[in-house]
Every structure is written in C-alpha cells, then in structure tokens.
Amino acid sequence: MSAADPRAVAQKLIGLVDLTELGDACRTADVSALARIGRDRVAALCVWPQFIGEAKRALGSAKTAIATVINFPDGGEDIERAVSDAREAVRDGATEIDLVLPWRAIVAGRDAVAREMVGAVRANLPDHIVLKVILETGALAQPALIARAASIAIGAGANFLKTSTGKASVGVSIQAARVVLETIAKSGKAVGFKASGGVRTAEAAAAYLALAEEIMGAGWASRSTFRIGASLLLGELERLAGVAKK
C-alpha cells in the first residue's frame, strides 16, 4: 500500500467502508451475517430495499448506518417512483439513500430530468437522511459529462457523489474520481465522495483516499465526507491494520 504508514491507512479505511450486499441471490441470512461483520466497525451497511428491516434488526443499537439503493441499477427517469421508493425506504429504517442519477438523460442533453429527480428525492427526505447520488462515471466516460453530472447532483441537493453502481461494465477510475472530487472542490459545498465499482485491492482503496485528501485537503476524509465501496477488501484491510477478523 502506497502510504507512509500502511497500518494506519488500513485502520482508517475500515471505518470508511460501505459494506454492501446487492447480489441477485441475496437472502435474509446474508444480510444478517453482513450486519454481524460490520456493526460498529464500518460506516454503513448497504442492502436492497426489501432487506432494510432485517438490517435494522440485525444491527440493533449499532451506530453503523443503513443504506439502500433507489432507481438502481439502470438509472431510469421515473421521478415519482424514485421519490416513492425513497420515502418508503426511510419509513422502513434506511438512513442513507443511494440514488442512481438518470445519466442517459445527461448524455442526451436533457439535464433538467436529472436535476428534477435529485431535487425531488432530496425535498421528500428528512434533513438528517444522507442522499448519495450515483453518477455511473464509467458510462458517462467523458470528463466533461462526468463534471456536468456531478455539478447537477450537487446543485440539486446531493450530500454525497458516488462514482458507480458496480453493475456497469466500467466502474470507477482514478481519472473519473479526480473529476468528481475537483467538481466538489469547485462547488464550495459540503459534499462527500464515494469511490465504488471495482475497488479490488487495498492499494487502490488507499489511492482513492490519498486522491481525496490531495484535492480536498489533508484530514478531510471522514465518515461524513468519504466512503469506499470495498466490501470484498474488508478482510485484507483488517489484516493490514492488524485487527482481529470478526
């Protein structure tokens, strides 16, 4: 891992992980097992909407957030459905909503659709609920489109910008992450960043953390500003950090 103190970096990254189970064959038992692993250790547990109740039960009094996905993974344009699903998820116990931006509308030059969806979902959520907008940067591909999508999401009320669903053929890249982070920095707003979709090594996770602090400032990254979608890496991060695996 490219850092002066690999153990310290790994320890920090563990607390910034969104532990995710969004497999097509996910079962209640899988969510329960994930909650046991992540409770009071990682930043959030991200599950399908139908498993929010089980995540809440399994986490109990843990401080780990409960995240779920909306308009996922396709990023459609049904604003009413997105709003309804988000409100239902909050009623069920979600504290973070990961909304896929209708990125095809941006590619087609119909920015208003994306702006309206993010704004409508944000307006229908309580203030304390974190709204993470998934840009699908691999599909947008071009830096100018990624920057435009990021600006739209920020302007419409996103609390976090997330790079990828993890379901597209192309996920996150350092180049795309840089564009998103630089857009956040230029906005001057308190918006967080999440690298997700293909973060497969501890070195890669550390690189995204280093990039965030290069652009946003040393010490910027915390649970409220930086997340990493690296569920498969939790064991490796624990080994590097020298902590016992749960």
Residues carrying an active site annotation:
98, 162, 194
3-state secondary structure string, the chain? CCCCCHHHHHHHHHCCEEEEECCCCCCHHHHHHHHHHHCCCCCEEEECHHHHHHHHHHHCCCCCEEEEEECCCCCCCCHHHHHHHHHHHHHHCCCEEEEECCHHHHHCCCHHHHHHHHHHHHHCCCCCCEEEEECCHHHHCCHHHHHHHHHHHHHCCCCEEECCCCCCCCCCCHHHHHHHHHHHHHHCCCCEEEECCCCCCHHHHHHHHHHHHHHHCCCCCCCCCEEECCHHHHHHHHHHHCCCCC
